[in-house]
Amino acid sequence: MYPIDLFDPRHYANVRKPVMQAESLPAWCYTSETFYAREVERIFKRTWTFVDRVDRIPEPGDYLVFDYVGISTIIVRGKDRKVRAFANTCRHRGSAVMAGEGNCKAMRCPYHSWTYGLDGSLIATPYMNLTENFDPGAYSLAPIRLEVWGGFVFINFDANAESLRSYLGDLVDNTEGYRFDDMVCARRLTYEIAANWKLFYENFAEQYHIPFIHKTSLYKQKRKINPPEKTDGNYVALYVEHPGSRMLLAGDTGFPPIKGLEGRIAKGTYYPNIHPSTVMGCCVDGMWFVRSDPLGPERTRLVVGTCFPRATLERRDFAKVAKRYYKRLDTTIPEDIKAAEDQQAGLRSPYYRPGRLSYLEQLVHSIDNWVLDRVLDRAA
Ligand code: FES
Ligand SMILES: [Fe+2]
């Protein structure tokens, strides 16, 4: 069974070694409630979490409710067009104020109708006129930190966290050429999978599995595999050089490239894994993302979004051609999901022992060590 103290650095000595000497993580990192609870406290409640594209809530009053690691958050665009985040808990007696997504003039709690403006301030409180010393100004919805980069909305439950820009580091400059600000998310798809959040995230950072898991899909395309990118921020990245768009399957043609795209990124695909759990495939003609929300040690929700430049969405042939892009993702994402679920099943075996890594899995080692840096107790 598991050791009593899962967070003793001594259990991880072999994961901490240089990658070509290192081992993969112990099973409990993928299966234990205790390890998962520590990840929630030390990672998911403290780091920047990608929520969705800002173009999902384009108009004042547009909102969506985001449920993540047991915290419900309202993301809403104000009359001043600024996007804000608030804890979805009424300042009266705690009811959830909003549900789902839509457009509203103000946020009204369904229980006793306390109503909040789009900036979170309390603007209506029926039957509260006899309540002594009641100052509505002191009962605004609790704000949650929110920052936007390239149209990607991120929140952070830690009021003292560094800025998003500083968290992302040089990813911001490395992806400038894609003009993410000018993109729109054309389709979102959600999967719930029976695997720990790290398994899909690690999978995305290694090309080792491509000839096997994607034998009849992605492996049909030519590629030149480069060593992992040097990165300075809370992310890791791969760059793969190849002709055409990696958002399509071999033989399919698609949309023209992103306007003004030049240099190395015009000749291949850039794949950042943004810690803790968002992956992106940045291609010559658009991008796709997968946000993985941890639901428990052995369950994860994946949200797959496909984004294109605004001009591409306005093309008359958009719907017809976009189907080829969706076909690619709808083929390959389930291939990776199966790999993650098979791996989860095997990790449950009492016979599992950590294994060794290939040079194609260097980023798996980086990810695992990034996690350990945050969850382990300091050595005595
Ligand atoms: S709990 Fe929201 S108005 Fe009473
Ligand atoms: Fe894959």
Residue-wise pLDDT for 71-114, tens only, equals: 999 999 999 999 999 999 999 999 999 999 999 999 999 999 99
Distance between CA atoms of 147 and 164, rounded to whole angstroms? 6
Which residues are paired to 372 by β-bridges?
Answer: none
Distance between CA atoms of 330 and 336, rounded to whole angstroms? 11
Question: Does the Cβ of 109 fall within 6 Å of ligand 1?
Answer: yes
For residue 100, give the nearest of 70, 125, 76, 124 by alpha carbon.
76
For residue 201, give the nearest of 50, 45, 325 by alpha carbon.
50
Question: Does the Cβ of 90 fall within 6 Å of ligand 1?
Answer: yes
CA–centroid distance, 49 to ligand 2, in Å, is 22
Q: Are 16 and 369 in contact (CB under 8 A)?
A: yes
pLDDT tens-digit readout, 294-317: 999 999 999 999 999 999 999 999
Question: Does the Cβ of 337 fall within 6 Å of ligand 1?
Answer: no
Question: Does the Cβ of 112 fall within 6 Å of ligand 1?
Answer: yes
Structural domains in the chain, CATH included, are 9-46+179-375 (3.90.380.10), 49-160 (2.102.10.10)
Residue ranges, the chain, pLDDT below 50: none
Distance between CA atoms of 346 and 350, rounded to whole angstroms? 9
Instruction: Kindly identify the ligand whose nearest atom is closest to the C-alpha of 126.
Output: 1
Pocket test residue of 72, 111, 140 for ligand 1, highest count of atoms within 8 A of CB: 111
CA 130 from chain centre, in angstroms, equals: 47
pLDDT at 226: 86
179's tokens: 């003009």
Question: Does the Cβ of 114 fall within 6 Å of ligand 1?
Answer: yes
Pocket test residue of 90, 108, 127, 140 for ligand 1, highest count of atoms within 8 A of CB: 90
Q: Are 363 and 206 in contact (CB under 8 A)?
A: yes
How are strands ordered across the β-sheet holding 287-296? 183-193, 299-309, 287-296, 278-282, 268-274, 235-241, 224-225
CA of 97, closest atom in ligand 1: 2
Amino acid at site 30: Y
List the shell of residues around ion ligand 2, using CB closer than 5 Å.
336
pLDDT at 379: 61
Residue 177 burial (CB count, 10 A):
17
CA 214 from chain centre, in angstroms, equals: 22
Q: Whose CA is closest to atom 1 on ligand 1?
A: 93
Pocket test residue of 112, 131, 139 for ligand 1, highest count of atoms within 8 A of CB: 112
Question: Does the Cβ of 110 fall within 6 Å of ligand 1?
Answer: no
CA of 90, closest atom in ligand 1: 2
For residue 360, give the nearest of 240, 247, 266 by alpha carbon.
240
Amino acid at site 341: E
pLDDT at 380: 53
- Answer whether 0.85 is exceeded by the pTM: yes
CA–centroid distance, 220 to ligand 2, in Å, is 13
Helix, strand, coil percentages (3-state) for the chain, rounded to 5, are 30, 25, 45
Which residues are paired to 148 by β-bridges?
Answer: 153
Question: Does the Cβ of 108 fall within 6 Å of ligand 1?
Answer: no
pLDDT at 224: 83
Q: Whose CA is closest to atom 4 on ligand 1?
A: 112
For residue 285, give the nearest of 252, 238, 330, 332 by alpha carbon.
252
Q: What is the DSSP letter of 92?
A: T
Q: Whose CA is closest to atom 3 on ligand 1?
A: 112
Distance between CA atoms of 164 and 76, rounded to whole angstroms? 19
Amino acid at site 235: Y
Instruction: Kindly identify the ligand whose nearest atom is closest to the C-alpha of 210.
Output: 2
Residue 207 to residues 46, 236, 327, Cα–Cα distance (Å): 30, 14, 21
Residue 319 to residues 35, 277, 287, 309, Cα–Cα distance (Å): 44, 30, 16, 14
CA of 113, closest atom in ligand 1: 3
Amino acid at site 312: T
370's tokens: 């990034």
CA of 109, closest atom in ligand 1: 2
CA–centroid distance, 191 to ligand 1, in Å, is 33
Instruction: Kindly identify the ligand whose nearest atom is closest to the C-alpha of 115.
Output: 1
How are strands ordered across the β-sheet holding 83-87? 49-53, 152-156, 143-149, 83-87, 71-77, 62-68, 101-103
Amino acid at site 103: N
Burial group, residue 30, by CB count within 10 angstroms (0-12, 13-18, 19+): buried
pLDDT at 223: 80
Q: Are 6 and 376 in contact (CB under 8 A)?
A: no
